[in-house]
Amino acid sequence: MITRINLRDRIHITYAWCVFIAVMLLTPMPITTYEEQTTYFDKITHAILFGVFAFLIYYTLRAVGEDRIIINPDKNIKLKARNKNKPLNKRPKVPIRRMLIIYLSAFSVSIIYSMSLEYLQAYVPGRSPNDLDFLASIIGVILVLLFVYGDNYAKK
């Protein structure tokens, strides 16, 4: 059985992840006296956090305007197609212009949110903005959106 999450639940999941990222990145840290070292764990964390955020935005925007019909392949239920000779696909094709808007929206919202959180870290005790963290966030967003693009257009 294939279940689909409706748009409202997708928005709630995306919002919860947005709040989770803000809490993770804006929580005060103990102030230390030694010099800051570059740790790659922090960069990987930024890439994962914002990569998942970009995916959730993509996943939410993809649901806007879709029919919210549950298809149950176990009972061999088929939806009525507009053309009676063609059965309706489970994954309908989305126009390229709409997909481009979805990808650009997911990319720009993720990057702007990452930039704003890096800026806000300047005002949090024990935190400081870092260009490498922002770069890691951009890389995470790009990698996830490329993966989603490849998954959507892979030839089967």
Q: Could you read off the pLDDT of 72-112 as tens digits, one per residue?
A: 444 444 444 455 555 555 555 667 788 889 999 999 999 99
Please give the pLDDT value at position 65. Answer: 67
Q: 143 vs 91, which has greater pLDDT? A: 143
Please give the pLDDT value at position 34. Answer: 66
Find where tokens 């993770």 sit: 24
Other beta carbons within 10 angstroms of residue 37's beta carbon come to 6
Q: How deeply is 111 buried, as exposed, middle or buried, from its count of CB atoms within 10 A (0-12, 13-18, 19+)?
A: middle
- Tens of pLDDT along 14-68? 999 999 999 999 999 887 766 666 678 889 999 999 999 999 999 999 888 665 4
Please give the pLDDT value at position 72. Answer: 47
User: How far, CA to CA in Å, does 39 sit from each of 11, 22, 31, 47, 121?
Assistant: 33, 20, 17, 13, 17
